[in-house]
Structure 1
Amino acid sequence: MKVKWPILIVGLGGTAALIALLATGFSANINTAVTDVITGKQAPAFELVDLQGRTWSVEELEGKPVFINFWSTWCGPCKMEHPMLLQAAKAYPDVQFLGIIYNDAAAAVDVQLRRPPYNRLMSELESAAIEYPNLSDPDGRTALRYGVVGVPESFFVDRTGLVTYKQVGPLNADTAKRELARIRKQ
């Protein structure tokens, strides 16, 4: 069998270029790259329903500091940050904490239809002791307005409705304390 060197060289060169491109993209600081899209701007409007059937909107939250966490039931890092978020919600009762279930088609359908897997979602929240409201973003439009690229992502909104900080990826306790203190002061 005769080796077709030009095809092999082009194939290997293309593979090397793709690997270099991916490595460069993965090494970029995504938190810095996407933070400026929304930070310093008014929190985008939304009207979403929580798991108990109550409708929430940005307008009704005016005048309160707000913490918003986009998460999914299948997301391991989301589940890992839940205990810290619960502690923060208890430590800062003047801040409105909201979870928004995103990119979770099964959970969204179950919530809308109130069918048995919805009970599984509720039991998961209860077992994680998540007591603050969790809203469903079934079509992902709210996440799109907030510039969410994946989960978890968290947003800190001050009393005037400005997004003061966006965290891409899991939130750590030190950052949470710093940013919660900042939105409570303003």
Structure 2
Amino acid sequence: MALALLLLIPFLVGGCGATTENSSEGASIGFRADDGSIAVIPAEQRVAAPVISGTTLDGAAVTLSDYSGRVVVLNVWASWCGPCRSEAPLLAQAAEDNPGVQFLGLVTRDSQASAAAFAQRYSLDYPHLLDSDGALQLEFRDLPPKAIPSTVVIDQQGRIAARVLGEVHEGTLNGILEQVKG
């Protein structure tokens, strides 16, 4: 019985589709091939991020390459996702605290109206691409953000530097940004 409960724990504490590691102190940041929850890629092993473009919640056209030369934090979220609501205040604060980093939301499997209300409610004052059918999310073939929420950090050279599956925590995000910004 105890073994069965231990095997169920990862499924019970996960986000909307994946397990997540809580490293709120940022101490265990590194490549994690065993569970896929956090992966930080060494600079010499990074691959180019896909060329994605779309329309923001405000109707503007945005391409990921618009932010060339900047670190980009791409957060995949949906208004109906509980862990997304939980991490939203952290992302809003992190965007404010890191003016040299471009935050970009990727709203997946959601409506424009629900997503806009969510972004306004949580003061997510950065662009959000609407990806209603999940097609943009699927462009990340080499290190896919296969959970909702997921966070992908792209370095100044446009390469995928890190991915967090599930809710991102402050220490984790800050640690990744410190490593990627150099």
Contact 2:40–2:162 (CA under 8 A) maintained in structure 1: yes
In 2: Cα distance, 1:139 partner to 1:75 partner = 16
Contact 2:76–2:106 (CA under 8 A) maintained in structure 1: yes
In 2: Cα distance, 1:59 partner to 1:122 partner = 23
Map 1:21-36; keep pairs closer than 5 Å: 29-31=35-37
What is the aligned counterpart of 2:178 among 173, 177, 181? 181
Please tell me the root mean square deviation across aligned C-alpha atoms, in Å: 2.4
Does 1:87 pair with 2:87? no
What is the aligned counterpart of 1:154 among 151, 171, 182? 151
Structure 2 length-normalised TM:
0.73
More helix by share: 1
Q: Match for residue 54 of structure 1? A: 60
In 1: Cα distance, 2:117 partner to 2:181 partner = 31
Structure 1 length-normalised TM:
0.72
Contact 2:49–2:160 (CA under 8 A) maintained in structure 1: yes
Residue 64 and residue 35 in structure 1: after superposition, are their counterparts in 2 closer, same or farther (change >3 A)? closer
Contact 2:155–2:181 (CA under 8 A) maintained in structure 1: yes
Structure 1: gaps of 5 or more residues: 1-18, 112-117
2:76 alignment partner, SS class = strand
Q: Which has the larger radius of gyration?
A: 1
Structure 2: gaps of 5 or more residues: 12-18, 20-33
